[in-house]
């Protein structure tokens, strides 16, 4: 590997990032098809909330997830109110040994 290749490498996403990316892909595919069927948007909204609460020590009232549907596109908006610095630390990931 060249020296320039070392600096161009992108960090590998962790498991939760992959899961979030997959959920958003499902959301986009659903919106593009416009099929009539079960509405998966509330399910995705709930799963995103669960992931946020799993990784941050905050209450549900500190997270606001909105889905706005327009004629041409939909918008997913996530607002997270974080406590003061040092107030909410990320939950430690359990390591398998």
pLDDT tens digits for range 28-82: 777 766 655 556 777 888 888 888 888 888 888 888 888 777 777 777 788 888 8
Parent domain of 46: 14-80
Number of domains in the chain: 1
pTM tops 0.85, yes or no: no
Is residue 88 in a domain? Answer: no
**Cα–Cα distance list, 86 to 57, 82, 83, 90 (Å):** 11, 10, 8, 10
Check which CATH number belongs to the domain holding 42 and give it. 3.30.1070
Model confidence at 97: pLDDT above 50: no
- Look at residue 97 and tell me if it is in a domain: no
Q: What is the pLDDT of residue 13?
A: 53
- CA–CA distance from 67 to each of 11, 74, 75, 76 (Å)? 30, 7, 6, 5
């Amino acid at each position: 590997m060249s020296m320039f290749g070392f600096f161009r490498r992108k960090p590998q996403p962790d498991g939760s990032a992959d899961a979030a990316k997959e959920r958003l892909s499902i959301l986009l595919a659903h919106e593009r098809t416009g099929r009539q069927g079960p509405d998966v948007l509330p399910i995705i909204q709930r799963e995103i909330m669960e992931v946020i609460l799993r990784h941050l020590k905050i209450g549900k009232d500190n997270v606001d997830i909105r889905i706005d549907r327009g004629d041409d596109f939909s918008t997913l908006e996530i607002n997270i109110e974080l406590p003061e610095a040092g107030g909410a630390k990320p939950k430690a990931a359990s390591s398998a040994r």
